[in-house]
Amino acid sequence: MKTKYSNRAKRKKNEIKLLFNLFFFTAITEVLAEYFQYIDFVYVLKPLLVPILTFIYWKKSRTRDFAYIVAMFFVLLANIFFISTDINSLIIGSLFYLFYRVLIIHLVIKHLKLTHYLPICLGSLPFLAIFGYVAFIAKENMGVGFYVYMLQTILMSFLAGYSLAAYMIDANKKNYWLLIGNILFSVVHLMVVFKIYFLDMLIFQPIAMICYVMAQYFIYKFIILSEKLKN
């Protein structure tokens, strides 16, 4: 019985390792497709990243939190709409991303409860100031997208500030993954706005994609480690 359980665990470990290889191979290929502007490849590869990571979570997690799976579904929809450069598609994608962000905030608070509000407020202020300033100077170009961006800014600032406060209070591995993930999401947040409304440089999209992939991976690590520590 012990040998059978050991073989099953080993097979599962190998499957997860293979899926991670597939995830990062797809990510690298997608980044190259973004850089060389192979749009057909982008349309195929970009939507694959989230389902692969979600399936890894399904295989790895013992609890399989439904909120995380739904959050990944929303971010998958957002990614599909973000492929297009049409402003309406970008706004719809941003709305789906809002749902994703709300669910991630729910999961972070669920796994990491902070009782001191002052560190959260202080941690959020730098992010809110930077995002707010960018929104202020791009307001005329954003149109109706400005209001969606401001909602994103508030949620992103809170999440980044919460992560920073958590790490400053307790600098453990779980909080480290969360902080790095949200800093990378903040970089993506700024780069996308700069690319759309200020300076459309070719290098922005691949860099943003690298940050995005690593951010999703680090948030996954935070969720898995939080579940492991709780159990």
- d(C-alpha 216, C-alpha 209), whole Å: 11
Residue ranges with strand state E in 64-136: none
End-to-end CA distance of the chain: 24
Q: For residue range 133-152, what is the model confidence (pLDDT) as tens digits?
A: 887 877 776 677 778 888 88
Compute, in degrees rounded to 10, the torsion defined by CA atoms 164, 159, 226, 74.
-150
Q: How far is CA 45 from CA 34, 71, 73, 145, 176, in A?
A: 10, 19, 16, 27, 29
Per-residue confidence (pLDDT) for residue 1, from 0 to 100:
53
Per-residue confidence (pLDDT) for residue 191, from 0 to 100:
83
- d(C-alpha 159, C-alpha 132), whole Å: 15
- Number of other residues whose CB lies within 10 A of the CB of residue 169: 15
Residue 196 DSSP SS3: helix
Low-confidence ranges of the chain (pLDDT < 70): 1-6, 141-142, 196-201, 231
